A and B are shown apart, each in its own frame.
Chain A
Amino acid sequence: MKLVTAIIKPFKVDDVKEALKGLDVQGMTVSEVQGFGRQRGHTEVYRGAEYTVDFVPKVRVEVLATDADVDSIVDAVVTAARTEKIGDGKVWVTEVGHVVRIRTGEMGEDAI
């Protein structure tokens, strides 16, 4: 079992969601996050005083995947979230040791 984590541009959330639905993914979790990558932040000016804003708003998408599905999920996220401009974000995959569905008590890949 794997956890797919993606940091994407906020306005790409719908595209990624639709792409994952198209793969019959059973669930996803999104959260609003802030950070920087190579894009870095931007500057803002208030009454002539300039400030740098280091952290850019992003959305983190998390999807649990079976080993068989993980590559297609990563491909779908990358395709849906790509604008080819700086700041598109990243996707990474981590190993998951144990999963339980709280309502039924199902475990492992049955719980995904």
Chain B
Amino acid sequence: MDSGNTAWVLVSAALVLFMTPGLAFFYAGMVRSKNVLGMLMQNFFSMGLISVLWAAVGFSLAFGDGGGFIGNFDFAFLRDIGTGDLALPGYVDDFALTIPAIVFVAYQMMFAVITPALITGATADRLRFSAYAVFIGLWLVMVYSPVAHWVFSPTGWLFERGALDFAGGTVVHINAGIAALVLVLVVGKRKGWPREAMPPHSLPLTLLGTGILWFGWIGFNAGSSLGANSLAGQALLNTHLAAAAGLLGWLFVEKLKDGHPTTLGAASGAVAGLVAITPCAGFVGGMAPIVIGFLAGSLCFLAIQLKFRFGYDDSLDVVGVHLVGGIVGSLLLGFFADTEVNSLGFDGILLGGGAGLLLDQLVAVAATVVYSGAVSFILAKLIDGAIGLRVSPDDEAAGLDTTQHAETAYNLGDFGSMGRIGS
């Protein structure tokens, strides 16, 4: 055990936790004012439900010793986790942890919390809250934990195959992005979309959320080195540079195409850069993060136009930013990965490593898309049949805030028209 490494991962856990409220505000600013609380609630609820489920079974299914596909129940309800120097399955030799297992559990919990929360942007304004709660609970156990096992656990089949994912390009972003696409196809488009204008109600909230995400992402990526060392420094720098270049890339294309550089574009570009650098953060160096970020920012801007062409209502562009950005980053890693930066990785095509890594990255992307897409589709259909995924048309028109949560976000200029019911 190393106290410096442990301290850094503890701090990183707190940073990653902070990303979920950041995401909540990033999204909440983009919805109309009648759906703000619905959006914030879906994100905050993930911090409640997923944390508890992670401690109960999620961690054990992701990091238990069950073979290549999924863990087991050895660590269910955190059994044995807090005791002594427990070695987690596969974390031996080069991958030996220098932090206590319980710190690793807490750190990974924050990843599990934010991943289903990412989906909420796609289904904004129309998802029934109870259906959402059931969906993310089942999705954690049946989709997130297995995919995390494949990619993150050294005993997982994609990890053993040699696919690289430093902090969750496949596990977090492609996984949530494809689930988002499937969910919007099942739940359908919002009434009035795309003809009716549904502009963001508060871009300042969105930019505030972006700042929190950017800040927290330092813990997400640099924390994934699981040590306070030069690799963490490299990952931190890569993360920040990719966000910066993503912001520039998005604004560059936006200015060329639409004539104005927008604040929403700056925020979106930074997030696109952060998404794309996530799998690469601890495997690339030099100017690679700038190239990756800039490409992600400009490609994601073009990708969000696809929803109008194909007619799926991905309300806040989770598919365009997280699915596409995650794929861009995961595949670019096949070109830019550098063993000089991280000897546990492999060299990409540009570093003379041949196409082997790119092929493994393609397999990881395809496996995640197919598995997460299929299971998410089945879950969505089952829940839709059982309790209904979508609110009624009347409730959709009135907004999620009053219909799902019996609250209003902004009680401004109220003329005392509220009276207490009961004594």
Residues of A within 8 A of B (CB): 44-52
Contacts and interface: CB of A to CB of B under 8 A. Distances in A.
Interface string B255-276: 0011110101100100000000
A30 to B, nearest CB: 15
Interface of B: 194, 197, 199-200, 254, 257-260, 262, 264-265, 268, 301, 304-305, 308, 317
B316 to A, nearest CB: 9
B199 A48 contact: no
A49 B308 CA distance: 9
A51 B199 contact: yes
Nearest to B305: A48
A45 B260 CA distance: 8
A45 B256 CA distance: 13
A49 B194 CA distance: 9
B174 to A, nearest CB: 21
Contact of A50 (B200, B258, B268, B317): B258
B344 to A, nearest CB: 38
Contacts of B259: 45
Nearest to B196: A51
A48 B268 contact: no
B317 to A, nearest CB: 6
B262 A45 contact: yes
Contacts of B200: 46
Task: Identify which of A44, A47, A52 gathers the most chain B CB atoms within 10 Å of its CB.
Answer: A47
B246 to A, nearest CB: 14
B305 A46 contact: no
B264 A46 contact: yes
B199 A47 contact: no
Given A51-B197, A51-B199, A46 B308 contact: no
Contact of A47 (B194, B197, B264): B264
B34 to A, nearest CB: 17
Contacts of B305: 48
